[in-house]
Structure 1
Amino acid sequence: MPTTVLFLMSTMFIANIGFGIILPTLPFLSRQVGASTFELGLALSAFAIAQLLFSSFWGGMSDRVGKRPILILGIVGYGVTSALVGLSPNVVVLLLLRFLSGALCSAVMPASLSLAANATTPEMRPRVMAYMGSVNGIGFIVGPPLGAVLSVFGLQVPFVSVGILSIVNGIVALWLLPKESPRPVGDEQTKLSFRGFLQIKHNLRAFFDRSLTPFLGGTFAFTLADATVTSTLAFFLTDTLHSTQAMAGWAFMVNGGVGALIQVAMFSAMYQRWGEKATIVTGFSFGALGYLTLGLSTSVVWVFVAITLLAFCRGFAFPAMTSAISLRTTVHSQGSSFGSQMTFNSLGRTIGPLIAGWLFAYQERFPYFFACGLLVATVLFIRVGLKGKLSARAEQA
């Protein structure tokens, strides 16, 4: 595998492990600076909202000025702002830095994915995208326990550690990542992708591009459904099944770990044997079954069965959709397309907890039945949207 791809995998790993390291310590730091429960919620959501606003912007900028400088700016900026979060003197500064951290971190994934796509052949790309996705799950597994250990030495230590790690990664990127030729400024698609932070025109055009619609819609459905678990599972285990909050941590680790293992060990063979349509449909089918099992669970054992089924959805569907987007996008538009995918990803993570919270307040099992229905509808949508054998490939230019 190219050295560039291995380094990009490490960069995405650092961004995700950084998020995981900070997550368990942030509530205690927020309390230390006098944040209310509502302000703690804002500190958590500010990161996701910033990613929603800026993902497409950075994707378009990476096509305009080059992926390498945008990636370096993103990872170094993320490191600086993460370290400063740990030194926040009050709530206002904390919220502002969390927003800036999310905005800069949102540059990392589109630039990393597009650089990886440009460094690989179409035949290698599905396997590479699976590996890139697997490091996200691994980072999510390693981050929280590492953050808990580091916080023993002080609440500021996890934040400063993430900052140092990210800044060093950016410095290494200066000499390790190859320089590239940016797209000409006068190019019409580049001009379109540069206008505005929300990139509404570009994202709508990408969504209604029939070659990309199933994958962007599938990304939104996947993250919206996934948000029902991340936002309610702890309460479901403790309030409904009378288990412990620690069990929720184990459930998330199992989900991320099994998902990463599937992407590394099974995804490539599945994709090459059955193609992207069957891989995506199989993944979402596992997901629908997993959410149904979760909604019907009467014990912790069944929750872990459901979580394992959901890991198959994560391991098959998401990397297949990412690979499909890459293969249907020209070299000079990779950043914009991945930026659009991350925007739909962030949109699902932003509104998903709101829907899940409302449904959970009405009946604690409804969020999972809703997610099951959503993925069943997505399977039908993809089967209709991807008629015939999927052999379309974007002309690499």
Structure 2
Amino acid sequence: MPTTVLFLMSTMFIANIGFGIILPTLPFLSRHVGASTFELGLALSAFAIAQLLFSSFWGALSDRVGKRPVLILGIVGYGVTSALVGLSPHVWVLLLLRFLSGALCSAVMPSSLSLAAAASKPEMRPRVMAYMGSVNGIGFIVGPPLGAFLSVFGLQVPFAAVGFLSVLNGIVAFWLLPAEAPAAKAGGGARLSPWAFLQVGNHLSAMFNRTIAPFLGGTLAFTTADATITSTLSFFLTDTLHSTQAMAGWAFMVNGGVGAMIQMAMFSMMYQKWGERATIVTGFLFGSLGYLTLGLSTNVGWVFVAITLLAFCRGFAFPAMTSAISLRTTVHSQGSSFGSQMTFNSLGRTIGPLIAGWLFAYHERFPYFFACALLLLAVLMIRVGVKEKLSARAEQA
């Protein structure tokens, strides 16, 4: 594995563990500055909304000025704003800093994925994308308990720790990452319009680009479905199955941990043997079965069976779609393509909780049946829309 890729994995790990470290402490910090329950919800959603708005902007900008400076700006800015969140004197300052933190953090993933793709050979790219994805799951597992431990020493300590790790990572990136020729100098790259931060034109172009549109739609389906468990599983376990909040924490750890292990141990072998379309379809079928099992669960045991099936979906489908986008995109436009994927990712995580909450109000099992149907629709979309073999694309990359 190239040194550059290993470092980029650590960068994404820091960004994700930082989010996890802050998550258990943010409600207590919000209460400390006088935030209401609604304002706490805004503090949580501001981060995701900022990522939705800015992911494509950073992706397009990285194609024009280079991935390295955008990555360094993103990880350092994320660290500084995260540390400042812990020092917020008022609610409005906390909300503003959370928004800025999400906006800057959204620069990390598209630039990291683009640099990792550029540093790896086409035949190695599926494995690299799987490893890059696996660190996300590991970060979400390690982050919350570490944040809970650090908060014992003070509410500001978890935020300061995220700031220190992120800024240190940015300094190392300045010396370690090689400079690349940006598309602006090479005569390529996406255009930045006056409405650049939204990149509406790029999204529309990507949606009508038949080579990557199925994978963007699959990303949206995956994250929208995944948001049903992140937003309602705790209530389903405690209110419907009369379990405990701690059991919900274990369920999330199993989902993230098993998904990360599958990406690292099984994904590459399956991808090389079956190809990208079969890998994605298999992942989505595991996910459909998992959500159906979850919706029919009558005890906690069946919930963990469902969560394990969903981990196979996370381990197979998402890295395969990311790899497919990389292999179908030129070097000077990968930032824009990954930025579009991250925008669809953020869109799913924004609308998913809203849909799940609305369905949960009617019946506590409806969100999981909806997610099951959504992934079955994604299976149909991938089977119809993806016709080309990986080998043909890999030779052109």
TM range (shorter): over 0.9
Q: Contact between 1:224 and 1:348, CA under 8 Å: does it hold in 2? A: yes
The aligned counterpart of 1:143 is 143
The alpha carbon displacement at 1:194 in A equals 8.3
The aligned counterpart of 1:240 is 240
Which moved further from structure 2: 177-186 or 187-196?
Answer: 187-196
The aligned counterpart of 1:59 is 59
The alpha carbon displacement at 1:204 in A equals 1.0
Matches within 5 A, 1:93-242: 93-184=93-184, 187=187, 189-192=189-192, 196-242=196-242
The alpha carbon displacement at 1:191 in A equals 1.7
Q: Contact between 2:183 and 2:189, CA under 8 Å: does it hold in 1? A: no
2:242 counterpart SS class: coil
1:70 counterpart SS class: helix
The aligned counterpart of 1:35 is 35
In the superposition, relative to structure 1, how do residues 342 and 235 fare at CA in structure 2: closer, same or farther (>3 Å)? same
The alpha carbon displacement at 1:211 in A equals 0.2
1:116 counterpart SS class: helix
Could you list the runs of 5+ residues in structure 1 that have no partner in the other structure? Answer: none
Distance 2:236 2:148 in 1: 23
The aligned counterpart of 1:261 is 261
The aligned counterpart of 2:13 is 13
1:223 counterpart SS class: helix
The aligned counterpart of 1:308 is 308
The alpha carbon displacement at 1:335 in A equals 0.5
The aligned counterpart of 1:4 is 4
The aligned counterpart of 2:69 is 69
The alpha carbon displacement at 1:207 in A equals 1.3
**Structural RMSD (CA):** 1.4
The aligned counterpart of 1:89 is 89
1:144 counterpart SS class: helix
For 2:112, the aligned partner's letter is S
In the superposition, relative to structure 1, how do residues 271 and 395 fare at CA in structure 2: closer, same or farther (>3 Å)? closer
TM-score (norm 1): 0.98
The alpha carbon displacement at 1:125 in A equals 0.2
Distance 1:33 1:192 in 2: 39
In the superposition, relative to structure 1, how do residues 195 and 180 fare at CA in structure 2: closer, same or farther (>3 Å)? farther
For 1:86, the aligned partner's letter is G
The alpha carbon displacement at 1:185 in A equals 5.4
1:329 counterpart SS class: coil
TM-score (norm 2): 0.98
The alpha carbon displacement at 1:183 in A equals 1.1
Q: Contact between 1:286 and 1:310, CA under 8 Å: does it hold in 2? A: yes
1:180 counterpart SS class: coil
The one-character-per-residue Cα deviations of 1:155-176 (angstroms, maximum 9, x if unpaired) are 1000000000000000000100
For 2:350, the aligned partner's letter is T
Distance 1:171 1:228 in 2: 38
Distance 1:126 1:219 in 2: 16
In the superposition, relative to structure 1, how do residues 170 and 188 fare at CA in structure 2: closer, same or farther (>3 Å)? closer
The aligned counterpart of 1:295 is 295
For 1:352, the aligned partner's letter is G
For 1:294, the aligned partner's letter is L
The aligned counterpart of 1:384 is 384
1:184 counterpart SS class: helix
The alpha carbon displacement at 1:198 in A equals 1.0
Q: Contact between 2:151 and 2:157, CA under 8 Å: does it hold in 1? A: yes
For 1:359, the aligned partner's letter is L
Q: Contact between 1:331 and 1:396, CA under 8 Å: does it hold in 2? A: no
Distance 1:254 1:373 in 2: 23
The one-character-per-residue Cα deviations of 1:265-324 (angstroms, maximum 9, x if unpaired) are 000000000000000000000000000000000000000000000000000000000000
Q: Contact between 1:192 and 1:202, CA under 8 Å: does it hold in 2? A: no
Which moved further from structure 2: 181-190 or 344-353?
Answer: 181-190
Q: Contact between 2:63 and 2:189, CA under 8 Å: does it hold in 1? A: no
The one-character-per-residue Cα deviations of 1:321-352 (angstroms, maximum 9, x if unpaired) are 00000000001111010000000000000000
The aligned counterpart of 1:351 is 351
1:198 counterpart SS class: coil
Q: Contact between 2:189 and 2:332, CA under 8 Å: does it hold in 1? A: no
The aligned counterpart of 2:277 is 277
For 1:2, the aligned partner's letter is P
Q: Contact between 1:42 and 1:95, CA under 8 Å: does it hold in 2? A: yes
Which moved further from structure 2: 273-282 or 191-200?
Answer: 191-200
The alpha carbon displacement at 1:187 in A equals 3.7
For 1:70, the aligned partner's letter is V
For 2:261, the aligned partner's letter is L
Distance 2:166 2:312 in 1: 30
The aligned counterpart of 1:360 is 360
